[in-house]
Structure 1
């Protein structure tokens, strides 16, 4: 299967606060552009995702997060690897464009 052309974009100053994002365990400021469509991705690590789900359920709400991507740790390297997998395995078709 041919690799689709795509771009993965983080805020230009991301490296300055990556440690904070990693500690927080979530980040929604990343975007991927594939085939002329742009998608905002919501990255979580498993621990933070569990906290978010529990918090929403305890509040009587449902948990819903479009374009949810779970990574081992919310770092630039892990997010880039996840995006590469989304493209390589054709999972981009399941994302909701902006």
Structure 2
């Protein structure tokens, strides 16, 4: 068993549909071994749009603690976090 806590805003379910439509969410927090991380979720389409837009402006794209998932909804976020923790990849995250 892996001990961790995923925190989403209390009212997340009220606007989850909007998050899913936008394909982006950055208000998820993961705590593992007393270390807190802000996670940034994108779906593949939104990520490509962000990358293209940033590169067109002449800069580079960088996003710490980036997770790309099929759909940015509560179920997919929870599944991704479980996999992240279970696989030990949290060691690559940047803490807050």
Tell me whether the two structures share a fold, i.e. TM-score over 0.5.
yes
Give me the whole-angstrom Cα distance separating, in 1, the residues matched to 2:59 and 2:81. 29
Return the match for 2:92 from 65, 76, 94. 94
User: Structure 1 residue 4: deviation in Å?
Assistant: 2.3
SS in 2 for 1:96: coil
Gaps of 5+ in 2: none
Matches within 5 A, 1:51-90: 51-90=49-88
TM value normalised by structure 1: 0.97
TM value normalised by structure 2: 0.99
SS in 2 for 1:55: helix
- Pairwise CA RMSD: 0.4
Q: Which runs of 4+ in 1 moved over 4 A?
A: none
Gaps of 5+ in 1: none
